[in-house]
Amino acid sequence: MKQFALGWSHGDALVLSTAAMLAECRFDLGGRDFRPFARAPWMGQVSDPAIIGHLRELGGDFACLPFGAGPPQPIGPPEWAELMGEPPLVPIHGPAGDAEWELVARTEHSVTLGLDYPADSLVRRLERRVAGRPGAPVLDSSLTIYPRRSGAVSVGLHPILRLPEARGQLRLEAEFEFGLVHPRQVGAGEAQEFTSLNHVPHRGGKIDLSHVPLGEPNFSAQLCGMRGPLRAVFLEEGAEVEIDWDRDLLPSLQIWCTDRGIEGEPWQGRYRGIGLEPIASAFDLNTQLSERPNPISRRGVATAVQLQADTPLTLSHTVSAFATGSTAAGGG
């Protein structure tokens, strides 16, 4: 594993060759350091190759293609369970989230890494660029997909913010067409759909997903048809981030919140973070499901990206940091 440090006028960051992972990022907010991304406590300590790359070095942002993790058995409401006929692909979230990427280009404030995909893959190659934006506390990232042939594939970006210690101290703001609770958390006869983060179905009642931590070990939902960027306000710190991206290509946002809720290696009940993940996918379910008609795509929200042979496609996203009440510097 190699490390690539970058710095610019308003911060510094560290990108790893493993999964092209953003391991660290510090924003300078007028002389005040702000570090909004999560960082696994085991980073740099796991060498077991049986553990997927992005879990060995679980930092603040990486890319997934295809986007999907399972589960191995059908789950949830019948309209979802009946579509889960295939086991999840290995590695989960595709080679992008597992392999060692190679250096393509590097400057003082940016790094570009590349990864060749297997010869039988729809995708020939990926290139990921991470750069600090001179003059602003903004981190710009792009993922360029070089298709081998035409077809559809699920794609996701995977920013993960840290969770404050106190319950409800990270406020989430988002506008979307409709939201769905992850099928694995929907019991027989329970509601799945919602239209506001303030009132999300959970165990026959409601929870407020606009303020995390929730007091729940694990919770996931998908915001479909995003109408603007996602804003996350660290209430006790007087600082915010805005995540903006190409919503015409990645129309949904998956929220994955885990608060010491995952056991086994390398988690061991230690990890706290909230993934705010721009996706063209049906949750993080079996990737084949996302490429076929499903309850989300049937409502006009794409769950896969359409690729054209030999025509590169670039997906961009920005993470902008600013003091509470100021104007975001970013824009995707």
pLDDT tens digits, 65-104:
999 998 889 999 999 999 998 888 889 999 999 999 999 9
pLDDT tens digits, 228-262:
999 999 999 999 999 999 999 999 999 999 999 99
pLDDT tens digits, 278-308:
999 999 998 999 999 999 999 999 999 999 9
CATH code, residues 35-100+146-323: 2.70.98
Per-chain mean pLDDT for the chain: 95
Q: Is the Cβ–Cβ distance between 164 and 170 less than 8 Å?
A: yes
pLDDT tens digits, 300-331:
999 999 999 999 999 999 999 999 876 544 44
Where along the chain do its domains lie? 35-100+146-323
Q: Is 73 exposed, middle or buried (0-12, 13-18, 19+ CB in 10 A)?
A: exposed
* pLDDT score of 327: 53
Sequence letter at residue 280: A
* pLDDT score of 329: 47
* pLDDT score of 326: 62
Q: Is the pTM of this model over 0.75?
A: yes
What share of the chain has pLDDT > 90, as a percent? 93
Q: In 3D, which of 154, 178, 170, 194 has the Cα closest to residue 277?
A: 154
**Mean local confidence (pLDDT), 185-205:** 95
Cα gap 139→27, rounded to integer Å: 9
Cα gap 91→11, rounded to integer Å: 33
**Mean local confidence (pLDDT), 196-207:** 96
| Residues 6 or more apart whose Cβ sits within 8 Å of residue 251 | 224, 225, 226, 280, 301, 302
* pLDDT score of 88: 85
